[in-house]
Amino acid sequence: MSYFDAASSLPLHPVARQALLASLDEGWADPARLHREGRRARMLLDAARETAAEAVGCRPDELTFTPSGTQALHTATAGALAGRRRTGHRLVVSAVEHSAVLHAAQAHERAGGTVTTVGVDRTGRLDAQEWRAALGAGCALACLQSANHEVGTVQPVEEAAQACAEAGVPLLVDAAQSLPWGPVPGDWSLLAGSAHKWGGPAGVGLLVVRKGVRFAPPGPADEREAGRAAGFENIPAIVAAAASLRAVRAEADAEAARLRALVDRIRSRVPELVPGCEVVGDPVRRLPHLVTFSCLYVDGEALLHALDAAGFSVSSGSSCTSGTLTPSHVLRAMGVLSEGNVRVSLPPGTDADEVERFLDVLPGAVAGVRAQAAAPAAAVPHAPAGRPEAPDTGTGRAAADEAGTDGAGLTLDARGKLCPLPVIELAKAIGTVPAGGLVRVLADDEAARLDIPAWCEMTGHTFEGREGVTFRVRAAP
Amino acid sequence: MSYFDAASSLPLHPVARQALLASLDEGWADPARLHREGRRARMLLDAARETAAEAVGCRPDELTFTPSGTQALHTATAGALAGRRRTGHRLVVSAVEHSAVLHAAQAHERAGGTVTTVGVDRTGRLDAQEWRAALGAGCALACLQSANHEVGTVQPVEEAAQACAEAGVPLLVDAAQSLPWGPVPGDWSLLAGSAHKWGGPAGVGLLVVRKGVRFAPPGPADEREAGRAAGFENIPAIVAAAASLRAVRAEADAEAARLRALVDRIRSRVPELVPGCEVVGDPVRRLPHLVTFSCLYVDGEALLHALDAAGFSVSSGSSCTSGTLTPSHVLRAMGVLSEGNVRVSLPPGTDADEVERFLDVLPGAVAGVRAQAAAPAAAVPHAPAGRPEAPDTGTGRAAADEAGTDGAGLTLDARGKLCPLPVIELAKAIGTVPAGGLVRVLADDEAARLDIPAWCEMTGHTFEGREGVTFRVRAAP
């Protein structure tokens, strides 16, 4: 069994377990009480705050423990926006933030605020020019992740923070994915983290608000945690979180170098081993332990089950696995293939043998899922080594030439069919039209907007544009 | 060492510890994931939900795990008020609710809503008639605790729920203090609880929303816990919480009977052993393990430290112990003495010897604190056994007769002095005026409003009223 879903959650680090057990007997009382049990709990809490603050690179009185990373982000967003409401009501976020940030942004919109979403390039990296432009008049807060949770791309936080400082806008950094690997650089104003992402227990998030940042905690008042996290403190878990962050950091550089090499191995081998596969995310400026790829003609959920049966636990940004009908907003913002999406995130301690076993198993798992879906084997392209990133064609409307081509070709009705079926049917149909011929695909699964253009790029056919649910594809000459 | 502050927090129940340790290895993964680690976590979460629902007396899909009891109350209040916003914007609460409810009520007022506070009698029990009247037009939600956390008085929840049902108003019950002892009776609509109050771990609250109750979760959307508790679930703690609730319930009846007898012993002996002491709260309709009393001329914080040094951990609703200058809102609503307040809440397993040792230690501790404060020993009344509850005199303005008595008497300036000093100075001064003479006390400590009338009742002097910071006291004839 290999658990390759570290970016979701990690098992308890041995130091976390030890600290948790040790503090169960000392940390259960109310730290606000004056009796000895209360004072003992308070001492543990204070010590944990100092440890965590040192790892984050902030003052202890700037750091609050919250019940989760999600709540840290929700509180950070609402509190900073409320603190700056006299300046403006506009929130700036990158398009690839964690859903906790995007949900907070939606709540801000429902409450009458506005949100500016800044795009990313095909590797998932922030568009720095667009970011700078977005920080103009009325901007109350800007949010940027330190590194993306789905594709591993590291964001230019220092540069973004510099732009924020120049514009006088506080920057909130979602550091959930990068905090185990090191402190966040740059002159940020607020920061959020989550202990179970570094091997600490669930139930502990970090919220840092730098001194001088205007902040008005949302919700009902509460005297605990500087009024920034309502409810009784979970001190044994907090102690375990702080102790394990320190322990993980002590091992971080060596472990990062080791895992980075394993991920490089996956990045280079997967496209060679699996035809019709695209590795996404920045190949260099990335988290050490995380790699994501997508496979043409593959149902993400079926592939997850096949890999699970083969002993590998991974996750997926494909629409079919999330219980919703929309593919990952991250892959959508990047404009890359979403079907058959697999995120591999290696936990500390993963060895090379496990990775080799994964590479042994993957091609068969993909082939099996393709066979089940009756994918057209002949249509699976072999990715050339070093294939350059395809340019972003958007929906390709500019390339469409309605007048000249509408007369001929084939129309394929894939409405009501879920991804990857529309692409599979397109791949089968394209062989039946002559070189340069037109196929119109009617497809209402939202993933098709991403996957049909991506398929065209990967197979050499031309995506000519979309009108409503009609996609126009011209067969390669 | 005896820990007598169970109502604040309990050490981990052995079953909770066992369940926590057992599920650390199984429950760390994301239960939303499809891989085996995720499915295993999901199974643990589902089983814990069934166990907890059975103990509460609700359907599993009505029960959500929150990060704390406080957050359960905040979410319950905001969600039910939002769900009923077309009906009205008025929230009804009892005057003796937990601060989490009162803070939620203040947040509701800040957002433009209104709050009706229903009073209690001198035992802390809800005024049922006032409650019924408050549920009229525009009432969106009513909140009542199942039992009071400071004085132990059990509230008439069934009767209150009946009144709510007749008025078509949902009832939120804060069951934090009573849930370990049994399910909440009556036809309530929402319920909140907190695991560390029954020996479960910190970090787990319960929120129950009955089917059919209109509820709009506040804050940013989140797909976890039916959208009612944002953030990654703390499954090992949830498992431990559910398992320990079941275990505690299995022992509840026997343990309640045992602790009830110990508390009866404290209730009867303390007034005999400690002169100038008043036991508060309903003597019969009360939590089995909790008793509260107040001591004239005693600084609550000093008494806590004295008891702590003697090996007893208790808590206090006196103003000096809370870091604020206002005495407990519960004691204030009851109109009883607040100075030298001590809450004793016995954890399960407390034995009779510990209670006898406490009764041995208490008189000396009180006397020591009084001596430090130079309290007038002669002025300490010996409470007659079975002294009837004093009638509620309010601020006594109606009893004042400005014209006839202003000519004579003594004025005592205790402004800027904190409780119990104004009462101590009054007790010293009263001996210097003739029988029937008048003492005016100038006192700006908020606790004086409670403690000067209470002192008069306990010592046989007459409280004639208050104008601003001036209290009029007539010496006993």
* CA angle in degrees (0–180, nearest 5) for A298-A303-A307: 150
Mutate to test the interface with A, among B34, B93, B206 (most CBs of A within 10 A): B34
| Tally of CA atoms within 13 A in the half-sphere of B223 that contains its CB | 10
Q: Are residues A95 and A212 in the same domain?
A: yes
Say yes or no: B334 and B466 in one domain: no
Q: Does B353 touch chain A (CB under 8 A)?
A: no
* Inter-chain residue contact B71 with A231, CB threshold 8 Å: yes
**Percent of chain B surpassing pLDDT 70:** 92
Q: How do residues B331-370 score in pLDDT, each as one tens digit?
A: 999 999 988 999 999 999 999 999 999 999 999 999 999 9
pLDDT band at B419 (very low <50, low <70, confident <90, very high): confident
Q: What is the pLDDT of residue A322?
A: 55
pLDDT of A309 higher than 60? yes
Residue A388 lies in a domain: no
Mean pLDDT of A35-52: 97
Retrieve residue B255's tokens. 């343990």
Identify which of B456, B271, B446, B301 has the alpha carbon closest to the alpha carbon of residue B369: B301
**A contact test, residue of B2, B9, B75, B319 with most A CBs within 10 A:** B9
> Alpha-carbon distance B362 to A305, whole Å?
66
What separation in angstroms does the CA of B260 have from each of A455, B7, B440?
Answer: 74, 15, 43
**pLDDT beyond 60 at A265:** yes
Residues 89-148 of B with CB under 8 A from A: 100, 103-104, 106-107
Residues of B numbered 230-289 whose beta carbons fall under 8 angstroms of chain A's beta carbons: which are they?
230-237
CA distance A435 to chain B (A): 42
Window from A71-85, A236-250, B224-238, B254-268 with minimum mean pLDDT: B224-238
Range(s) of the domain holding residue A417: 405-474
- pLDDT confidence band for B395 (50 / 70 / 90): very low
What lies within 8 Å, CB to CB, of B461 at 6+ separation is B430, B455, B473, B474, B475, B476
| Same domain? A229 vs A258 | no
Name the nearest CA neighbour of A408 among A467, A472, A477, A468. Answer: A472
CA A82 to chain centre: 27
Residue B352 is assigned to a structural domain of this protein: yes
Size of interface A-B (CB pairs under 8 A): 200
Confidence at residue A403, expressed as pLDDT on a 0 to 100 scale: 33
Task: Classify the C-alpha dihedral B15-B17-B23-B27 as positive or negative.
Answer: positive
The catalytic residues of B are 320
The answer to whether the Cβ–Cβ distance between A17 and B1 falls below 8 Å is no
Does residue B305 form part of some domain?
yes
Q: For residue B73, what are its two tokens?
A: 């109350």
- If asked whether residues B258 and B244 sit together in one domain, one would say no
How would residue A431 be classed by pLDDT, with cut points 50, 70 and 90? confident
Least Cα distance to B5 among B312, B267, B268 occurs for B312
B88 in a structural domain: yes
**Where is pLDDT greater, at A409 or B456?**
B456
Active-site residues of A: which are they?
A: 320
**Residues near A291 by Cβ (< 8 Å), separated by ≥ 6?**
A152, A263, A266, A267, A270, A279, A281, A343, A344, A345
pLDDT of residue B237: 97
For residue B195, list chain A residues with Cβ-Cβ distance below 8 A: none
The interface residues of chain B toward chain A in range 365-394, judged by CB-CB distance below 8 A, are none
Q: How far is CA A42 from its chain centroid?
A: 36
With CB atoms and an 8 Å threshold, state whether A106 touches B305.
Answer: no
The beta-carbon neighbor of A231 closest among B12, B70, B222 is: B70
> Are both A95 and A228 inside the same structural domain?
yes
CB of A315 less than 8 A from some CB of B:
yes
User: Chain A residue with minimal CA distance to B300?
Assistant: A34
Residue B391 lies in a domain: no
Averaged pLDDT, A101-124:
97
Q: How confident is the model at residue B385 (pLDDT cuts 50, 70, 90)?
A: very low
pLDDT tens, residue by residue, B167-189: 999 999 999 999 999 999 999 99
Q: What is the per-residue pLDDT across A410-426, written as a single tens digit (0 to 9) for each?
A: 999 999 988 889 999 99
Q: What is the DSSP letter of A198?
A: T
By the 8 A CB rule, do A298 and A339 touch? yes
In angstroms, the CA A253 to CA A266 distance is 20
What are the tens digits of pLDDT across the range B82-99? Answer: 999 999 999 999 999 999
Cβ atoms of B465 and B395 within 8 Å: the answer is yes
**CB pair distance less than 8 Å for B234 and A203:** yes
User: With an 8 Å Cβ cutoff, are B10 and A28 in contact?
Assistant: yes
* Cα of A347 vs its chain's centroid, Å: 16
Mean pLDDT, rounded, for B405-417: 79
**Residue A388: its pLDDT value, please?**
36
Q: Measured between alpha carbons, how far is residue A165 from residues A56, A62, A168, A213, A216 in Å?
A: 20, 19, 5, 12, 20
CA distance B100 to chain A (A): 7
For residue A77, the chain B residues in CB contact (below 8 A) are 220
* Across A167-174, average pLDDT: 98
Lowest model confidence (mean pLDDT) among A312-321, B344-353, B421-430: A312-321
Residue A387 pLDDT grade (very low, low, confident, very high; cuts 50, 70, 90): very low
The strand pairing partners of B292, in sequence order, are B280, B343
C-alpha distance from B104 to closest chain A C-alpha (Å):
5
Residue ranges of B 278-307 with Cβ closer than 8 A to chain A: 301, 304-305
Instruction: Tell me whether residues A202 and B233 touch, CB distance under 8 A.
Output: yes
Q: To the nearest whole number, what is the mean pLDDT of chain B? A: 91
Same domain, B136 and B59: yes
Residue B400 pLDDT: 36
The CATH number that applies at residue B463 is 3.30.110.40
- Give the full edge-to-edge strand order of the sheet including A470-474: A410-413, A438-442, A470-474, A462-467
In a domain, B331, yes or no: yes
Question: How close B270 comes to chain A (CA, Å)?
Answer: 21
Condensed to tens digits (0 to 9), the pLDDT of residues B114-157 reads 999 999 999 999 999 999 999 998 999 999 999 999 999 999 99
CA distance A120 to A143: 14
**Does residue B444 belong to the interface with chain A, where contact is any CB pair within 8 Å?**
no
pLDDT band at B440 (very low <50, low <70, confident <90, very high): very high
Q: Is the peptide bond before B420 cis (omega within 30 degrees of 0)?
A: yes
Task: Assign A321 a pLDDT band (cuts: 50, 70, 90).
Answer: low
**Cβ contacts (< 8 Å) between A365 and chain B: which residues?**
none
For residues B309 and B213, membership in a common domain is answered with no
Min Cα–Cα distance to chain A from B221, Å: 6
pLDDT at B165 over 90: yes
Residue at which a domain ends, from B197, B232, B248: B248
Closest chain B CA to residue A24: B12
Same domain flag for B350 and B222: no
For every residue of B208-220, DSSP letters joined together read EE-TT------SS
- The sign of the torsion formed by the CA atoms of B387, B392, B397, B398 equals negative
| Number of domain units in chain A | 3
| Residue B387, domain member (yes or no) | no
pLDDT at B401: 38
Of B21, B33, B230, the CB nearest to A71: B230
Lowest mean pLDDT among A66-75, A326-335, B77-86: A326-335
Q: Does residue B438 have a pLDDT over 90?
A: yes
Residue A240 counted as domain residue: yes
A10–chain B Cβ distance below 8 A for any pair: yes
pLDDT exceeds 70 at position A188? yes
A259 and A372 share a domain? yes
The CATH number of whichever domain residue A346 belongs to comes to 3.90.1150.10
pLDDT of residue B222: 84
Phi, psi of A426 (to 5 degrees): -65, -45
Binding-face residues of B in 40-69 toward A, CB within 8 A: 67-69
Say whether A104 and B29 touch across the interface (CB within 8 A).
Answer: no
Tell me the average pLDDT across A137-150. Answer: 96
A14 has pLDDT over 50: yes
Residues in B touching A347 (Cβ below 8 Å) = none
Residues B448 and B318 in one domain: no
Same-domain check for residues B75 and B163? yes
Q: Is the pLDDT of residue B202 over 80?
A: yes
| Model pLDDT, residue B390 | 34
Q: What is the DSSP letter of B406?
A: T
Of the residues A222, A248, A274, the one at which a domain ends: A248
Q: Tell if the CB–CB gap between A106 and B38 is shorter than 8 Å.
A: no
CATH of the domain at B88: 3.40.640.10
Domain boundary, last residue among B233, B248, B263: B248
* Residue A373: band (very low, low, confident or very high) from pLDDT cuts 50, 70, 90: confident
Are A168 and A272 in the same domain?
no
Residue B373, pLDDT score? 84
Please provide the average confidence, as pLDDT, over all residues in chain A: 91
pLDDT of residue A20: 97
Q: Render pLDDT for A344-360 as a digit per residue (tens, 0 to 9).
A: 999 999 999 999 999 99
- Compare CB distances from B103 to A17, A74, A220 and report the shortest one's residue: A220
For Cα atoms A244, A286, A353, give the angle at the middle one, nearest 5 degrees.
70
Lowest mean pLDDT among B252-261, B262-271, B316-325: B316-325
Q: Residues A306-335: what's their mean pLDDT?
A: 84
Does pLDDT of A320 surpass 70? no
* Closest partner CB to B234 (pick from A3, A106, A202): A202
Burial class for A182, CB neighbours closer than 10 Å (0-12, 13-18, 19+): middle
Please report the pLDDT score of residue A392 as a whole number: 40
Identify the band that residue B320 occupies on the pLDDT scale cut at 50, 70 and 90: low
Residue B387: pLDDT above 70?
Answer: no
Q: pLDDT at position B116, please?
A: 98
| Residue A382, pLDDT score | 60
